[in-house]
Copies of this chain bind each other. A is one copy, B any other.
Amino acid sequence: MSKRTKSMPEPADVAETPRRAADRIRDTAFDLFYREGIRAIGVEEIVNRAGVTKPSLYRAFESKDELIAEYLRDYDRRFRDNFAAQGAGHPDDPKAQLLAYVDYLAVRASTEGYRGCGLTNAVIEYPDPAHPAHQVGVESKQALRERLREMCHAMGAADADELADGLLLLIEGSYVSGQAFGERSPARVLGAMARRLIEASLASR
């Protein structure tokens, strides 16, 4: 890792600490919005912690609401990636893929300081359907529901849509319960419960 020359900056070699103000803002906002809540964090705190200034924020983002929407779209992207990554070890086996994610979530939602799903939290923080935060959150949840339906159908469940909704309830329940119970979260039984619902659906085929 040698110091790069001034005359030839390569984008890749400064990836550790983003040099662009917009990137630092994005990263800082992601962290603060997720951990502390969106309404709880003002733009002042974001720019302070990012080591930049307010005008830099408003040059890169139209408004705080737009920054929030950006954060949530980013969160959604990471979620989809992670959801896919957890099941990557089981190609063409939707049931195993689903259980892999569920088992992952059961652990993650039972760690101290867990803060749930950023998208779910956003929908709750912004109940107004007209607010971008609400909209992005809802769209992501609809996509997840659809994905679960596809998987349940693919695994040959008798009542795929119903099973998918049941699993969605368990998953969302794990998101929020993790925040209230910490290490002893009810989310620890998520895997067992998901298996019971799935088995019941596959048995009654």
Chain A residues within CB distance 8 Å of chain B: 35-37, 39-40, 115-116, 120-121, 123-128, 137-138, 141-142, 145, 162, 164-166, 168-177, 179-181, 186-190, 192-193, 196-197, 200
Identify the closest chain B residue to A128 (Cβ): B36
Taking CB atoms, residues of chain B closer than 8 Å to A142 are 180-181
**A115, A128, A170 interface centre (most CB from chain B within 10 Å):** A170
- A sample of 27 inter-chain contacts (CB < 8 A) reads A36-B127, A37-B127, A39-B39, A39-B40, A39-B125, A120-B124, A120-B176, A124-B125, A124-B179, A138-B180, A141-B180, A142-B180, A165-B186, A165-B193, A166-B186, A166-B189, A169-B169, A169-B177, A169-B193, A170-B173, A171-B173, A172-B172, A172-B173, A172-B176, A173-B173, A176-B176, A197-B197
**Number of copies of this chain that the complex holds:** 2
Taking CB atoms, residues of chain B closer than 8 Å to A190 are 169
Taking CB atoms, residues of chain B closer than 8 Å to A168 are 173, 177, 186
CB atoms of B138 and A166 under 8 A apart: no
Taking CB atoms, residues of chain B closer than 8 Å to A138 are 180-181
Identify the closest chain B residue to A119 (Cβ): B180
5 shortest interchain CB distances as A-B pairs: A169-B173, A173-B173, A165-B186, A166-B193, A172-B173
Taking CB atoms, residues of chain B closer than 8 Å to A36 are 127-128
Extra pairs beyond A35-B127, A120-B176, A193-B197 (19, CB < 8 Å): A36-B127, A36-B128, A37-B124, A39-B40, A120-B180, A123-B176, A123-B180, A124-B176, A125-B125, A141-B181, A142-B180, A142-B181, A145-B186, A166-B170, A166-B189, A169-B170, A169-B187, A170-B170, A170-B173
Taking CB atoms, residues of chain B closer than 8 Å to A189 are 162, 165-166, 169
Give the distance to chain B from A113, nearest Cβ to Cβ, in Å.
9
